[in-house]
Amino acid sequence: MLDGWVPWPEEAAQRYRAEGFWEGRPLDRLLRDRAETDPERVALVDGEGARWTYAELDARADRQAAGLRRLGIAAGDRVVVQLPNTDAFVVLFFALLRAGAVPVLTLPAHRESELVHVAETAGARALAIPDTHDHFDHRTLARAVRKAVPSVEHVLVAGDAAEFTALDGVDADPVPLPVPDPSDVAVLLLSGGTTGKPKLIPRTHDDYAYNVRASARICGFDSSTVYLVVLPTAHNFALACPGLLGTLLVGGTVVLSPTPSPEDAFALIERERVTVTAVVPPIALLWLDAVEWEEADLSSLRLLQVGGSKLGAEPASRVSPALGCALQQVFGMAEGLLNYTRLDDPPELVAHTQGRPMSPADEIRVVDENGHDVPPGATGELLTRGPYTLRGYYRAPAHNARSFTDDGYYRTGDLVRVLPSGHLVVEGRAKDQINRGGDKISAEELENHLLAHPAVHDAAVVGMPDATMGERTCAYLVPRGPAVPPTQRELAAFLTARGVAAYKLPDRVEVTDVFPRTSVGKIDKKELGRRITALLHAEGSGAG
């Protein structure tokens, strides 16, 4: 058993098993099963058109698993994975599961600040990266991570490995490997984060397999499904809701798009006759515009899943007419709980709600600031527990004490109301986080970086309304004494040099002498939010 994570209480675990939510099978079996029943079907196609059957993918994973063991990666070892949407990700993901190691999934956009923290927290044994991606040399990043985190012994590189180990060369003849305990942690996902640094989310074989299986059923995935991975494969939405894993589970075909741009994605939809894909709202908006001028044939598309941040009712109602497919809203979280609008829901509910919980075993409470249940239909914070929602972050006891109730409910920090149909409408947020078109930015994490700037005395990060992204990031600064406060460009350079991911850089910087305070003396972020919103209105831009 991996230590440092919080398992479900025995009573709940027994119930989830007895009721069939947890099947007691390792996660990698979903690939093995298909390789046995449909070996010659195409499992995976990459952006360039290279194709792998189920048998080939399965065999590659076996060979790499054996190679990883030979390299010294042992059962329970954590391996930080930072790979873009390529076959290398898929093979390594299954190879690690089979070697009994735990993939720790990070985004290609993450940089030194995030990776060092993640590798350190996980006590990672290895790091897997591309050589270069999106004009960035990840080997430079790996050198910095190794220097800062001595437990990282191996760097595995997809492509030109330089002084590191080439992933391609890791293969060895398959060996029998011990079967992992299905109730143990299979994978560690990254949380959006509301505090100083991102947290790690343990997902077990049992819970994640159920997440994938139930999602695939609700979304109508079957062997005719051709799923386009548009978001990063490492993101829970694209990986398991039902995503890449859900498609492999049912014997469909996964197609990997290198980017979410309409040029790349539309060309792949046409070429591979893609039937379903998942995007965040800004990409949905971009695609709704792009169909006007892009010539591609999108007639194969049956379903567009949209989630990660709130999709407005107006663009929601434009999806079907413009793209000729059904819309599904998805309100999910890497921590577990998934809400889907159903394929047979009336159009009103699909356009105006963020779906209802996936599982009959999902328990939902909506509470006020004192933790009391609000009256039916009123808005409050969503609390949840269930067979695929974590009971605690990995190695984070202090944070866990705040993020969970005594009886195990996870405090989502999302403000919702529940309709009589059980559908949820997301009304806002009670957490100190900015949701920049699906990318989550912890205000505290960014403020800590800003406070490190010599000319900054105090910093407060708030969201500001934005027509495309939902919100963008505004950093309010109080300069240090007579110092000249940094401009937005100077700050961007400063933060980049500190190894902060580009999506976290403030979109706007505002300088003030003093922060508004609440009655208890905390920075009044609501007031700052109102100020920047008013300023945007006065400038004639913003919410639009």
Give the residue, chosen from 104, 319, 322, 330, that forms a contact with ligand OOB under the rule CB under 6 A. Answer: 330
Q: How far is the CB of 281 from ligand OOB (least distance, A)?
A: 8
- Asked if residue 237 binds ligand OOB (CB under 6 A), the reply is yes
| Other beta carbons less than 10 A from residue 48's beta carbon | 9
**Binding to ligand OOB (CB under 6 A): which residues in 110-149?**
none
Distance CA 339, CA 334 (A): 12
Stretch that binds ligand OOB, among 94-102, 324-332, 508-516, 534-542 (CB under 6 A): 324-332
Give the residue, chosen from 309, 341, 384, 473, that forms a contact with ligand OOB under the rule CB under 6 A. Answer: 309
Which amino acid is located at 296 in the chain?
A
- Asked if residue 310 binds ligand OOB (CB under 6 A), the reply is yes
Q: How far is the CB of 384 from ligand OOB (least distance, A)?
A: 10
Non-local CB neighbours of 462 within 8 Å, separated by 6+ positions? 434, 443, 473, 474, 476, 525, 528, 529, 532
**Binding to ligand OOB (CB under 6 A): which residues in 504-543?**
none
**Binding to ligand OOB (CB under 6 A): which residues in 390-419?**
412, 414
Q: Between 87 and 414, whose beta carbon lies closer to ligand OOB? A: 414
Give the residue, chosen from 27, 333, 383, 396, that forms a contact with ligand OOB under the rule CB under 6 A. Answer: 333
- Asked if residue 449 binds ligand OOB (CB under 6 A), the reply is no
Which amino acid is located at 535 in the chain?
L
Non-local CB neighbours of 189 within 8 Å, separated by 6+ positions? 105, 200, 201, 203, 236, 334
Distance CA 222, CA 38 (A): 13
Stretch that binds ligand OOB, among 27-35, 44-52, 288-296, 306-314 (CB under 6 A): 306-314
Omega before residue 7 within 30° of 0, cis: no
Stretch that binds ligand OOB, among 74-82, 327-335, 448-456, 514-522 (CB under 6 A): 327-335
Distance CA 80, CA 501 (A): 16
Looking at the DSSP bridge assignments, the partners of residue 105 are 81
- Asked if residue 245 binds ligand OOB (CB under 6 A), the reply is no
Distance CA 263, CA 49 (A): 15
Per-residue mark of binding to ligand OOB, 184-203 (x: CB under 6 A): --------x-----------
Q: Between 236 and 247, whose beta carbon lies closer to ligand OOB? A: 236
Nearest to 137 by CA among 103, 167, 168, 160: 160
Stretch that binds ligand OOB, among 48-56, 59-67, 307-315, 460-468 (CB under 6 A): 307-315
Q: Between 66 and 80, whose beta carbon lies closer to ligand OOB? A: 80
Q: How far is the CB of 147 from ligand OOB (least distance, A)?
A: 29
- Asked if residue 334 binds ligand OOB (CB under 6 A), the reply is yes
Non-local CB neighbours of 331 within 8 Å, separated by 6+ positions? 307, 338, 339, 354, 355, 414, 424, 426
Q: Which parts of 419-474 fold into alpha helices (H)? A: 443-451
Cα dihedral sign, 513-519-522-525: negative
Q: How far is the CB of 429 from ligand OOB (least distance, A)?
A: 6
Non-local CB neighbours of 534 within 8 Å, separated by 6+ positions? none
Distance CA 467, CA 364 (A): 31
Stretch that binds ligand OOB, among 14-22, 301-309, 320-328, 445-453 (CB under 6 A): 301-309
Non-local CB neighbours of 147 within 8 Å, separated by 6+ positions? none
- Asked if residue 241 binds ligand OOB (CB under 6 A), the reply is yes
Q: Between 128 and 333, whose beta carbon lies closer to ligand OOB? A: 333
Which residues are near ligand OOB by CB under 6 A? 192, 236-237, 241, 307-310, 329-334, 338, 354, 412, 414, 426, 435, 438, 440
